[in-house]
Amino acid sequence: MNNYSRHFIFFALLMPGHLLLGSKYWCPKGHFNLNQHNFFQKLARDVKPKYALETGFCTGRSASSLLEAAQLKTFISIDINLDYIKPEGRIFAQLLQKDFPEFKLIEGDSKVVLTNDFFAENFPHGIDWVTVDGDHSYAGCLHDLEVSSAYVSEHGIIIIDDYRSSGPDGVSIPHVTSAVDYFCKHHKEFKITVWNHRGKGFAILTRCETQDTIINRVTSSSD
């Protein structure tokens, strides 16, 4: 048994949620909980994204939740530091890229990586699902929202983690909430829906009525 397997079993025993989930892609450590995982999967099954982008991979919990629930053609996640949680970040980045050929991880700053050339090359059909969970500063979150929203497809959605978060399960990150509120104020075409369970919150944005109906249904059945 290698070191990672020992580590895996140790954390699996410590964290019953991991055993309940029963997926080898769910890292025992991370900043995304099981309620969020369940919500992501329900939403992904109904929204049916083909092209996805994420800022903030960390240990890949949000990424694997989406990969397992959707039939994606392209999914790129960007993280400035895969050692943010060490060694799990790199282990899960490698595992997901091996098992899901549609998945690619780029280690870099989203403010540098997300250029017009990047979008033209990787998302010529637009993006159906964006997860914003990287830089949690006001400027960082707003940047990720502004640049990615320009390439979101007509029926696309943007999910921002930690919107209006608080205890017991989340922590308050007012910069993220303010960035999302500022973005929505200046992009009236996007409608916002809020999901929150025990303080862990998402803002979900879309400008498509069909997706809005789906988001509302999934959100109200997952409170």
Ligand X SMILES: C[S@@+](CC[C@H](N)C(=O)[O-])C[C@H]1O[C@@H](n2cnc3c(N)ncnc32)[C@H](O)[C@@H]1O
CB of 144 to ligand X, least distance (A): 8
> Cβ 213 to ligand X, closest distance in Å?
26
The answer to whether 109 and 82 are in contact (CB under 8 A) is no
Out of 26, 28, 75, 110, which residue is the one contacting ligand X (CB under 6 A)? 110
Listed ranges 45-53, 131-139, 191-199, 208-216: which one lies at the site for ligand X (CB under 6 A): 131-139
140 is a contact residue toward ligand X (CB under 6 A): yes
Residue 78 in the binding site for ligand X (CB under 6 A): yes
94 sits near ligand X (criterion: CB under 6 A): no
DSSP E strand boundaries for 111-199: 127-132, 152-161, 191-197
Q: How far is the CB of 37 from ligand X (least distance, A)?
A: 9
Separation CA 37–CA 35 (nearest Å): 5
69-94 per-residue burial string, b: 16 or more CB within 10 A, e: under 16: bbebebbbbbbbebeebeebbebbbe
Among 21, 28, 31, 160, binds ligand X (CB under 6 A): 31
Among 40, 59, 74, 152, binds ligand X (CB under 6 A): 59
- Helix axis angle, 61-69 to 88-99, nearest 10°: 20
- Considering beta carbons, is residue 47 or 208 the nearer one to ligand X? 47
Q: Which is nearer to ligand X, 26 or 207 (CB)?
A: 26
Asked if 133 contacts 62 with a C-beta cutoff of 8 angstroms, the reply is yes
79 lines the binding site for ligand X (CB under 6 A): yes
Tokens of 57: 């991979």
